[in-house]
C-alpha cells in the first residue's frame, strides 16, 4: 500500500506542497530572526522585574515618574525613578528631557537594563497634554488599578519620530 494518492493530479499537488512548505517556513524564520533587534517590548517596572529582562535587551519602560526622585547632574546625566503600584525602577538618561517631563507624570523610556538593574534610557517620551497617555502606559496602569482616568484618554496613535500621531 502506497502513501501517495493514486491520482496523478493529487500527487503533483502534494509534491508542490512538500516543496513549498519548507521554503515558506524558512522565509518566515529568516524574517523573524532578522527583526529580532527591531522588536521592542513594553514593560512597567513590576512586569520588568517579574520577567527578569536580561541586561542589554532593548525594551520600553513606562510608568509614572516618582515625586522627589529626579536628580540632575552637572554633566547632563538625569536619574529618576519610574514607578507603578507594585514596583519601581531607577532610570538614567544622558541628555535633555522633554519640556513636558514632570514628576508624577507618565513617561515611556526606550533603552535597556544594565547589569546592576538600572534602566539606561536612550529616549524619554512624556505626555503631551493633560489628557494624553500612551496606550501601553494607560493599559498597564488600568491593569494594576492605578489608573486616574478623570479626563485622561489613552492615545490611539503610534509614535513616529518621537511625536504621537492619531
Query: According to the model, what pLDDT value does residue 149 have?
Result: 59
The mean predicted confidence, pLDDT, of the chain is 82
Instruction: Give the number of other Cβ atoms within 10 Å of residue 4's Cβ.
Output: 9
The reported pLDDT for the residue numbered 24 is: 96
Question: Rounded distance, CA 72 to CA 94, Å?
Answer: 10
Instruction: Report the predicted TM-score, pTM, of the whole model to 2 decimal places.
Output: 0.62
Alpha carbon distance 18, 5 (integer Å): 14
**Best CA proximity match to 105, nearest among 119, 87, 124, 92:** 124
62 exposed, middle or buried (CB, 10 Å; 0-12, 13-18, 19+)?
A: buried
What is the rounded average pLDDT of the residues 47-56? 90
Q: Give tens-digit pLDDT for 94-152.
A: 998 988 888 888 899 999 999 999 999 999 998 665 555 667 777 777 777 766 655 44
Location of C-alpha cell 516618582: 66
Instruction: Say if CB 70 and CB 51 are below 8 A apart.
Output: no
89 pLDDT higher than 60: yes
In the prediction, which pLDDT does 132 show?
Answer: 59
| Cell 512597567, located at residue | 44
**The pLDDT of residue 129:** 53
With CA atoms as reference, report the closest residue to 123 among 134, 131, 115. Answer: 134
Cα 166 to Cα 164: distance, rounded to the nearest angstrom = 7
pLDDT bin (cut points 50, 70, 90) of residue 164 is: very low
Cα dist from 138 to 44, 104, 166, whole Å: 11, 14, 16
Residue partners of 63: CB distance under 8 A and separation at least 6: 44, 45, 82, 83, 84, 89, 106, 107, 137, 140, 141
Instruction: State residue 159's pLDDT score.
Output: 36
Amino acid at each position: 500500500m502506497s502513501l501517495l494518492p493514486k491520482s496523478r493530479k493529487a500527487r503533483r499537488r502534494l509534491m508542490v506542497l512538500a516543496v513549498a512548505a519548507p521554503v515558506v517556513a524558512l522565509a518566515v524564520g529568516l524574517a523573524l530572526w532578522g527583526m529580532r533587534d527591531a522588536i521592542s517590548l513594553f514593560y512597567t517596572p513590576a512586569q520588568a522585574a517579574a520577567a527578569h529582562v536580561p541586561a542589554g535587551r532593548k525594551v520600553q519602560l513606562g510608568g509614572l515618574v516618582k515625586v522627589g526622585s529626579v536628580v540632575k547632574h552637572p554633566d547632563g546625566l538625569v536619574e529618576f525613578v519610574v514607578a507603578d503600584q507594585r514596583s519601581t525602577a531607577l532610570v538614567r538618561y544622558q541628555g535633555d528631557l522633554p519640556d513636558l517631563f514632570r514628576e508624577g507624570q507618565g513617561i515611556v523610556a526606550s533603552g535597556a537594563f544594565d547589569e546592576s538593574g538600572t534602566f539606561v534610557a536612550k529616549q524619554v517620551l512624556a505626555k503631551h497634554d493633560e489628557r494624553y497617555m500612551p496606550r501601553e502606559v494607560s493599559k498597564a496602569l488600568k491593569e494594576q488599578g492605578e489608573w486616574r482616568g478623570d479626563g485622561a484618554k489613552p492615545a490611539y496613535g503610534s509614535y513616529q519620530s518621537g511625536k504621537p500621531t492619531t
